[in-house]
Structure 1
Amino acid sequence: MQTRKPIESWLTDLDGVLIHEGVPVPGADAFLKALKESGKPFLVLTNNSIYTPRDLRARLARMGLDVPVANIWTSALATAKFLDDQRPGGTAHVIGEAGLTTALHDVGYVLTDSEPDYVVLGETRTYSFEALTKAIRLINDGARFLCTNPDQTGPSPQGVLPAAGSVAALITKATGKEPYFIGKPNPLMMRAGLNAIGAHSETSAMIGDRMDTDVLAGLESGMKTYLVLTGLTTVADIGRYPFRPSYVVDSIADLVAEV
């Protein structure tokens, strides 16, 4: 059996791993400090497309977590990278927040509701009937349908919230068109992130709290995977899936020594 190479770069999910319902997970600051002191490339990933990396850095800093902008990779950035590769200088009708619209502007996309090349659905806390109706009509008229991430729910201090995947299902029901999802577990998001930090999957590890996105994305990208139990997945949930993480640990605090 071939011996796996040592871990030279780390990718970690944000919600459920480093923070939980807006509060840092114990050990998150120590893990980030160890990463920076090691000099190893790392990324903090999130399927949430609401915030720009600069916004996320500021939000994390207020919680006492120091993550440089260059080490943050979002589904919005991955979506913009995908569109820039597929159709440079194209047009899109966007349902989403600044994280998504800024990423698309930065790659030269024009945002319009006049015969756009794409309808791009992202996360927002203000989905409106009018915006969804417009998206449905544009897709029916020939616009290609993309969604930043497949997550059906997201966390909040008050409980779960409907996320982009749930809204995408509504649009699919009305149009008969399935979106192409960019975020985890699509390996596309992982490979683009690895390329951004000059890392390779054979020497990288993915840390997450979800089997269906984080662990699956790491597995399909060829990385070692760590499941932490500080988020949505419990030990009892693991057996429901036909795949397993490389390791299961209680929290990110258990991985500080691994860096």
Structure 2
Amino acid sequence: MSLTYLMDMDGVLISEEKLIPGADAFVTELQDNDVPFTVLTNNSIRTPRDLRARLLSTGLDIAEENIWTSALATAQFLSTQRPNGTAYVVGESGLTTALHDIGYVLTDVNPDYVVLGETRTYSFEAITTAIRLVERGARFIATNPDATGPSSLGPLPATGAVAALISRATGRDPYYVGKPNPLMMRSALRRMGGHSESTLMIGDRMDTDIVSGLEAGLRTVLVLSGISTAESVEAYPYRPTRVIRSVADLVGHTSDPFGTD
């Protein structure tokens, strides 16, 4: 059975809109050898088309069908739970487009779900509406639990931070679909026809990428080009299969990243 790859985007392929050295050679090697791969991101703001354009601007040519977001995973989850349902959404085009594409109606009148995603324009009015709808019985879903996101000026509040505000006001916690929930990994695997025993997860965070990969039954590689450091690995009760500096270390070894041949 041939090897397939799942990989995080920020911290693995790019960092603050710049290419991580060697990422282009790594992706090209996968493409040239017809190795199936999917790029994952917990960020629900952008559609795959938008993300493709973002990656192209750094020099990475990755097709839309090779990109899987927490918004897409959330939409797929909801389509299996309550087909053609209704939702009140706090989020941006990546999330609203994904829900429209599965036949959901977006409304603030008795929705089946309140769905919280990431946005750079959280409004007090929208959060208040979400709180009132959850109190009235709408089921609470969030795309991912990340409390902060990166920016050139420092951390920004992200989905998990706003979810905590709604939870504190309502006493109800959301169901998080994105990493570290292994559900996101499994949905990406099904989409590309991969199998856990022959798929490698590459990530830069021990608390999301690596743990969700482990819980989905995948071998894992931690790159030190993003959030986690070699020192921080020791604080966790689990370990990745391999730790490398960046995906540049895998160039020339994508068919056998662990040197088992």
TM-score (norm. length: structure 2): 0.96
Deviations 1:72-94 (A, max 9, x none): 00000000000000000000000
Shift of 1:240: 1.1
Runs of 4+ in structure 1 over 3 Å off: none
Equivalent residues of 2:40, 2:68 under 8 A apart: yes
**Structure 2 residue 46 is the aligned partner of structure 1 residue 51:** yes
Equivalent residues of 1:7, 1:205 under 8 A apart: no
Which runs of 5 or more residues in structure 1 are unaligned? 1-5
**Structure 2 residue 243 is the aligned partner of structure 1 residue 248:** yes
Shift of 1:258: 2.2
Counterpart selection for 2:142 from 141, 147, 155: 147
Deviations 1:203-252 (A, max 9, x none): 00000000000000110001110000011111111111111100000011
Map residues 98-247 of structure 1 onto 2, 5 A cutoff. Answer: 98-247=93-242
SS of the aligned residue for 1:77 comes to helix
Which runs of 5 or more residues in structure 2 are unaligned? 255-261
Identity of aligned residues (%): 64
Partner residue, 2:75:
80
Deviations 1:170-189 (A, max 9, x none): 11000000000000111111
Equivalent residues of 2:25, 2:248 under 8 A apart: yes
- Which amino acid letter does the alignment assign opposite residue 198 of structure 1? G
SS of the aligned residue for 1:258 comes to coil
SS of the aligned residue for 2:68 comes to strand
What is the alpha-carbon distance in structure 2 between the residues aligned to residue 55 and residue 41 of structure 1?
Answer: 21
What is the alpha-carbon distance in structure 1 between the residues aligned to residue 233 and residue 220 of structure 2?
Answer: 13
Equivalent residues of 2:42, 2:69 under 8 A apart: yes
**Structure 2 residue 7 is the aligned partner of structure 1 residue 12:** yes
Deviations 1:88-136 (A, max 9, x none): 0000000000000000000000000000000000000000111100000
SS of the aligned residue for 1:120 comes to strand
Count of aligned pairs between the two proteins:
254
SS of the aligned residue for 1:226 comes to strand
- Which amino acid letter does the alignment assign opposite residue 50 of structure 1? I
Counterpart selection for 1:25 from 11, 20, 24: 20
SS of the aligned residue for 1:57 comes to helix
Counterpart selection for 2:61 from 51, 60, 66: 66
Shift of 1:198: 0.4
SS of the aligned residue for 1:61 comes to helix
Partner residue, 1:96:
91
SS of the aligned residue for 2:10 comes to coil
- Which amino acid letter does the alignment assign opposite residue 36 of structure 2? P
TM-score (norm. length: structure 1): 0.97
- Which amino acid letter does the alignment assign opposite residue 24 of structure 1? L
Shift of 1:7: 5.8
Equivalent residues of 1:50, 1:100 under 8 A apart: yes
Deviations 1:34-87 (A, max 9, x none): 110111110000000000001100111111111100100000000000000000
What is the alpha-carbon distance in structure 2 between the residues aligned to residue 213 and residue 136 of structure 1?
Answer: 27
SS of the aligned residue for 2:243 comes to strand
- Which amino acid letter does the alignment assign opposite residue 181 of structure 1? Y
What is the alpha-carbon distance in structure 1 between the residues aligned to residue 149 and residue 62 of structure 2?
Answer: 22
What is the alpha-carbon distance in structure 2 between the residues aligned to residue 32 and residue 200 of structure 1?
Answer: 20
Equivalent residues of 1:210, 1:227 under 8 A apart: yes
- Which amino acid letter does the alignment assign opposite residue 207 of structure 1? I
